[in-house]
Amino acid sequence: MCALLFCRTCNKERNKKGGDMSAHKKRTELNLEEILANPDTRREWLKFQLALHGSSFSAIARETGFTHQAICSIAGRRYGNRQVEALIARTIGMAPAHIWPERYTK
């Protein structure tokens, strides 16, 4: 599994200043369990992982017949769908229960 530096401050500054990294203030390194425990960081991490594997939420939506918004909700926190979760997990080479432990440990 690749290491990931995730910095919300940096991403916000990059969006505001058009890519200028001089406003970068601090980096927070998170391990995979911390990333997957937070629905907001998990969604962004999944988007990143799908891109690394040549896919996207839009591609998953086209393949499953769901809307892009539904896929984003499933990837984040709102709803669970075993078919979509399995497809996302298979695309990035992980088990759905590892990505969404709260949905699979009951």
Residue 49: give its domain's CATH number. 1.10.260
Q: What is the pTM of this model?
A: 0.69
Residue showing tokens 């017949």? 65
Residue pair 9/25 in contact by the 8 Å Cβ criterion: yes
Q: Are residues 21 and 49 in the same domain?
A: no
Q: Are residues 12 and 45 in the same domain?
A: no
Backbone angles phi, psi at 16, to 5 degrees: -70, -40
Query: Range of 23's domain?
Result: 1-30
Q: Are residues 26 and 65 in the same domain?
A: no
Question: What letter represents residue 59's amino acid?
Answer: A
The closest of 26, 45, 27 to 35, measured between CA atoms, is: 45
Model confidence over 39-76: pLDDT tens digits?
888 999 999 999 999 999 999 999 999 999 999 988 88
Question: Total domain count for the chain?
Answer: 2
Q: Are residues 18 and 52 in the same domain?
A: no
